[in-house]
Amino acid sequence: MIKGVKEGLLFLLDDQCEFEALLAELQYKLEKTHQQLLTGPLVHIHVKLGSRIASDEQKEQLASIIRSQGNLIIGSMESDLPEPSDPTSNKSKLHVITSIVRSGQTLEHDGDLLLIGDVNPGGTLLCTGDIYVLGALRGMAHAGIAGRQDVVIATSLMRPTQLRIADIVSRPPEEWLTGDAAMEFAYLEEGQMQIDKLSQLFRIRHNPIMFKGV
């Protein structure tokens, strides 16, 4: 299809047909059916290939047919391909909640969660992304409930009854509680739950190779 636009002419090429058929149709239109439209002074042509991924050789074949008319100047030739996907785009934005999760209560969120408050013993946090608790975590926290292993559980006071990331369950609390008053976070390294000071989170986030099975 050939359309007139402000900058000249727009060639919309079928991205579903065979390339040889496309060449033949383009040449036919230029030489037979659109001669009146294409004659006269210099005309700038913008070629849209649709979703077709054309090689340099194929683009040159198209350009050669167009340039053969003498007065046609190709301004652009491009495919309308989707933008490269962002690997983080499917992650929800951080959701902030100010609350206290009491015994028997469950707070569930799809994405990353920041809880400003405490999680009391018997309280539960379930999240597909990261869990951050600005308060004491004394209940159960499960990050990556949909299977993600590149998530963390961070809290001001790490005293949970249980931590889970994906399908990995933490060791008994007495085996890893540091007694440190500093904020800490839990993460997976080679399939094992690890605890570190929150100041070291940058080391994990900038070294994704440490996450196994992602």
Q: Convert the pLDDT of each residue in 167-205 to its tens digit.
A: 999 865 655 555 556 789 999 988 888 888 888 888 776
pLDDT at position 4: 77
For residue 132, the model assigns a pLDDT of 95
The phi, psi pair for 178, rounded to 5°, reads: -90, -20
> Taking 80 as the threshold, does the pLDDT of residue 39 lie above it?
no
Place of tokens 């194929």: 58
Burial of 165 (0-12, 13-18, 19+ CB in 10 A): buried
- State the pLDDT at residue 202: 81
Token duo for residue 22:
């496309």
User: Is the four-CA dihedral 175, 179, 180, 183 of positive or negative sign?
Assistant: positive
Is residue 151 within 8 Å of residue 144, measured between CB atoms?
Answer: yes
Amino acid at 7: E
For the CA atoms of 69, 75, 79, 80, the dihedral, rounded to the nearest 10 degrees, stands at -120
Share of the chain above pLDDT 70, in %: 81
pLDDT at 123: 95
Tokens of residue 8, six digits:
């000249």
- Report pLDDT for 114: 95
Give the pLDDT of residue 172: 57
Mean pLDDT calculated for residue range 92-110: 89
Supply the pTM of this predicted model.
0.54
Arithmetic mean of pLDDT, 24-35: 79
pLDDT reading at 142 higher than 80: yes
The single residue listed with the structure tokens 């004491």 is 136
**Local confidence band at 25 (pLDDT 50, 70, 90 cut-offs):** confident
pLDDT at 154: 93
Q: pLDDT class for 111, splitting at 50, 70, 90? A: very high
For the cut 90, the answer to whether the pLDDT of residue 127 exceeds it is yes
